[in-house]
Chain A
Amino acid sequence: MTAITKMTSVETKLFLRDPSAPLIVVCLPLILLLVFGMMPGIREPSADFGGKSGLSVFIAPMAVAILLTMLALTIFPGAMATYREKGVLRRLSASPVPPRQLLLAQLLVNLGSAIVVVALILGVGKLALGMDLPRNFGGFALTLVLGTAALFSVGMLIAAVAPTGRAANGIGSVTFFPMLALGGVWVPKEQLPVFLRHVADVLPLGATFNTLRETWAGNSPQLLPLLSLVVFTAVCGLLAAKFFRWE
C-alpha cells in the first residue's frame, strides 16, 4: 500500500473512532431533513416554492449545505489545527512523507463523508418522505463540486491560521452562523432585504445553498453564485497555500 493510501485509511479509522464527529455529520443533516420534512404541507407542491414542494427545494438543499459547511469549516480545520498543535505535522516533516500528504488524506476523508451523507440525504428523503430528487441533476452535481471546493478552501484558510484545534473550531463556528443567516438559510433570500439578497448569492454557503435550490427545482444555476464560488476557491486557496504553517 502506498503511503497516501495507508494514511487515508488511518485517517478514516481515526475519524470514525471520534465519538462525536461521525454522529453529528450523519445525524444532523438527516434529522433536519426528517424533522422539517414532516412539517404539515412541506411535501406538497406550493406556490411559495414555484410549484414544487418545500421539502425538495428548500429543506433538502439546506441539509446538504449545512453538511458541507460543517465538514469544511469546523471538522476539517479542527483536525488539521489539532495535528499542528500536537506536533503531528512537524513529526511528518522529519519523515520521508511530507505533511501535505496528511492534509490530502484529511480532505479525502471529509470529501468521502460528504458524498456518503449526500447519498443518504437523497436516499432517505426519497424512500422515507417521497422527496423529489434534483431535477437538474447535472447542475446539482456541478454545484456540489464548486460549492465543496469553495467551502473547503475557506476551511483550509482557517486551518492555515488557527493556532490550536480549539481556535479552529471557534473560528469555524463564528463564520458558520453569520453565513447561515446571510445565506438565506434561516430566512429564504426572497424575504431578505434587497441589498442582502445579493450577499446571499455571493458568500460561499449562500451561493451553494441557493444554487442547490435552483437545480433541485430543475432550473439552471445562475452565473453570479457559480462565479463567486470559483473566485472564493481561488482566493482562499492561494491565501491558505501562502500562510499555511506546518508547525
Chain B
Amino acid sequence: MPVIEVQGLHKRYGDKVAVDDISFDVERGEIFGVLGPNGAGKTTTVECLEGLRKPDRGRLSVLGLDPRHETAELRQRLGVQLQESRLPDKIRVIEALDLYASFYREPADIEKLLGLLGLAEKRDTPYKKLSGGQKQRLSIALALIGSPEIAILDELTTGLDPQARRDTWELIENVRDQGVTIVLVTHFMEEAERLCDRIAVIDAGRIVAIDTPAGLVAGVDNEQRIRFRPSAPLEDAQFTALREVRRVEHHGPQVVITGSGNVLQAVASVLARNQIIAGDLRVDQASLDDAFVALTGKKLD
C-alpha cells in the first residue's frame, strides 16, 4: 500500500519546465531515493509533496492526504528537512527542539532524539557555534521531532566530512528500522546506493528510471571493467576483435577494457597467447555511476 502516490506532476517557472509529468509511488517503510544532478527538479518535486509549492498539474497523495488542501493534518505526520535552512544564531539546540516539539500532537522523546543524533553534549550550544555536521544533524532532529510517519530529507549529507557522512547513513538506517518511511533527495551516488531500497533517477524534470540500485545496475548490461598494466604493449585490435569487449581505453600506461559476459576469460586468453603479464589487475563491476551515464547520457557530477 503506497504511502505516497504521484501522478503526472507538472511544474514550470516561467518558461522553464522544472518538473515534467513525473509519476511514482513510495511504499511504506522503504527508503526511497530521488537521485539526479543539480537542477533536475528533485527539490521542486518534494516541495510539491510537502505542500510548499503548488504544482501546475498532477495528482498527489501523501498518507492519503492532498498536500495542497489537507496541509494542517499532513504537517503533523510528515517530517521535513529543507535544503539550506538555518535557525536564529542564538537559539540553543534544546530550545529549538523544545519549541518544535510543542507543535506536534505526539512529539518524540527529546532526550532520546538528542542521543540518537549525537547532540546530547551540545544541548545548550547556540546554533551559530555548532559545526556544519551538527547543524545538519539538528535539522534531521527537527524533521523527526514530531514522530512522523514519513520523513522527506533533502541533501542529507551535503557539506559533511566522510566520517560524519557515514555516521548519518547509519542513523537513517536506524530511523527506517523504527518504521519511518524515508524519501531521500540526493545527488550523491554512494549515498543512494548505500541507503535506498529504490531509486527514482531524475534528469531535466523527467523520471528516467525507477528501480532498486541493483536493478538499475543490472540494466546496464552487466558490464565489467578490467584494468591492468601490460608488461608489453599490445594492439587494441586484439581486444576489440573479441565479441565480449565493448571498448578499450588507455589511461597512461594503464589499459581499461570494458565488456560483458565472459570478458575476463577472453582477455586473459589473449594475454596468455601473447605471453603478457597483467600487472595491477583490477576488475570492476558496473556501478550506479555507470547506470546513470547509461540512462541519461551524462555523468552525475
For residue B75, CB closer than 8 A to chain A, the reply is yes
Tell me which residues across on chain B come within 8 A of A93, comparing CB atoms.
52
Taking CB atoms, residues of chain A closer than 8 Å to B103 are 3, 95-97
Residue B15 CB within 8 A of the other chain = no
Compute how far the CA of A3 lies from the CA of B85 in the bound complex, rounded to whole angstroms.
21
B94-132, CB < 8 A from A: 95, 98-100, 102-104
Q: Are A94 and B50 in contact (CB under 8 A)?
A: yes
Partner of A10, one of B76, B86, B99, B142: B99
Return the CB mask of B55-95 against A: 1 if under 8 Å, else 0: 00000000000000000100110001010111110110001
B91 closest partner in A (C-beta): A14
Interface size class of B (residues with CB under 8 A): 20 to 34
Give the residues from 79 to 94 in chain A that come closer than 8 angstroms, CB to CB, to chain B.
Answer: 82-83, 86-88, 90-91, 93-94
| CB <8 Å contact, B72 and A94 | no
Residue of A nearest to B80 (CB): A94
Given known A-B contacts A7-B99, A96-B72, A96-B103, A86 and B90 have beta carbons under 8 A apart? no
A10 pairs with B85, CB closer than 8 A: no
Assess the A96–B75 pair: CB atoms within 8 A. yes
Interface string of A170-194 (1 = CB under 8 A from B): 0000000000000000000000000
- Selected from A6, A14, A91, A95, the residue in CB contact (under 8 A) with B98 is A6
Give the number of A-B contacts (CB < 8 Å): 56
Knowing A88-B86, A93-B52, A96-B75, say if A6 contacts B99 (CB, 8 Å): yes
Which residues of the other chain, B, contact A242 by a CB distance below 8 angstroms? none
Would you call A87 and B52 a contact (CB within 8 A)?
no
Bound together, the chains give a CA A13 to CA B96 distance in angstroms of 12
Min CB distance, A163 to chain B, in Å?
Answer: 16
Please tell me if the beta carbons of A87 and B90 are within 8 angstroms of each other in the complex: no
A13 to B126: give the CA distance in the assembly, Å: 12
Report the bound CA distance from A91 to B103 in whole Å: 13
Are A90 and B82 neighbours in the complex by a CB distance under 8 Å? yes
Is the pair B99, A91 in contact by a Cβ cutoff of 8 Å? Answer: no
Q: A91 to chain B: which residues have CB within 8 Å?
A: 82, 85, 87, 142
- Say whether A95 contacts B90, CB under 8 Å: no
Contact yes or no, A3 B87, CB < 8 A? no
**A contact residues, total (Cβ < 8 Å):** 22
| Interface contact A96-B90, CB-CB below 8 Å | no
- Give Cα distance in the complex from A13 to B92, angstroms: 10
Q: How far is the CA of A93 from the CA of B86 in the complex (A)?
A: 14
Q: Are the C-beta atoms of A10 and B87 separated by less than 8 Å?
A: no
Which residues of chain B come closer than 8 Å to A10, judged between CB atoms? 91, 95, 99
Q: How far is the CB of A38 from chain B (nearest CB, A)?
A: 36
Interface presence of A2 (CB below 8 A): yes
Residues of the A chain whose Cβ atoms lie less than 8 Å from the Cβ of B80: 94-95
> Would you call B100 and A95 a contact (CB within 8 A)?
yes
Q: A14-B88, A83-B88 are in contact. Are A96 and B104 (CB under 8 A)?
A: yes
In the assembled complex, how far is the CB of residue B158 from the closest CB belonging to chain A, in whole angstroms?
A: 14
With both chains docked as a complex, state the minimum distance between the C-beta of B138 and any C-beta of chain A, in angstroms.
11
Closest CB-CB distance, B143 to chain A, in whole Å? 9
Chain B residues with CB under 8 Å of A97's CB are: 103
A99 to chain B, nearest CB (A): 12
Select from chain B the residue with minimum beta-carbon distance to A97.
B103
> Is the C-beta of A48 less than 8 angstroms from some C-beta in chain B?
no
In the complex, which residues of chain A have a beta carbon less than 8 angstroms from the beta carbon of B84? 87
Interface of chain B residues 216 through 273 with chain A (CB within 8 A): none
**Chain B residue nearest in CB terms to A18:** B90
B88 and A87 contact, CB distance less than 8 A: no
Contacts A2-B102, A3-B102 given; indicate if A14 touches B85 (C-beta within 8 A). Answer: no
Q: Which residues of A lie under 8 Å from residue B52 when comparing CB positions?
A: 90, 93-94
Known contacts: A87-B82, A95-B75. The answer to whether A6 contacts B102 by CB under 8 A is yes
Contact between B95 and A17, CB atoms less than 8 A apart: no
B91: chain A residues at CB < 8 Å are 10, 14
CB distance B90 to A17 under 8 Å?
A: yes
Give the contacts of A54-105 with B (CB-CB under 8 A).
82-83, 86-88, 90-91, 93-97
Which residues of A are found within 8 Å of B85, using beta-carbon distances? 86-88, 90-91
Known: A13-B95, A90-B52. 16 other contacts (CB 8 A): A3-B102, A6-B98, A10-B95, A14-B90, A82-B88, A86-B85, A86-B87, A87-B85, A88-B87, A90-B85, A91-B82, A94-B75, A94-B80, A95-B146, A96-B76, A96-B104
25 residue pairs bridging A and B, Cβ less than 8 Å apart? A1-B102, A2-B102, A3-B102, A3-B103, A6-B98, A6-B102, A7-B99, A10-B95, A14-B88, A14-B90, A14-B91, A82-B88, A86-B85, A86-B86, A86-B87, A86-B88, A87-B84, A88-B85, A91-B85, A91-B142, A93-B52, A95-B103, A95-B146, A96-B103, A96-B146
Shortest 9 CB-CB contacts between residues of A and residues of B: A87-B85, A94-B80, A86-B86, A96-B75, A17-B90, A96-B103, A91-B85, A6-B102, A97-B103
Q: Tell me the B residues contacting A by CB distance below 8 Å.
A: 50, 52, 72, 75-76, 80, 82, 84-88, 90-91, 95, 98-100, 102-104, 142, 146
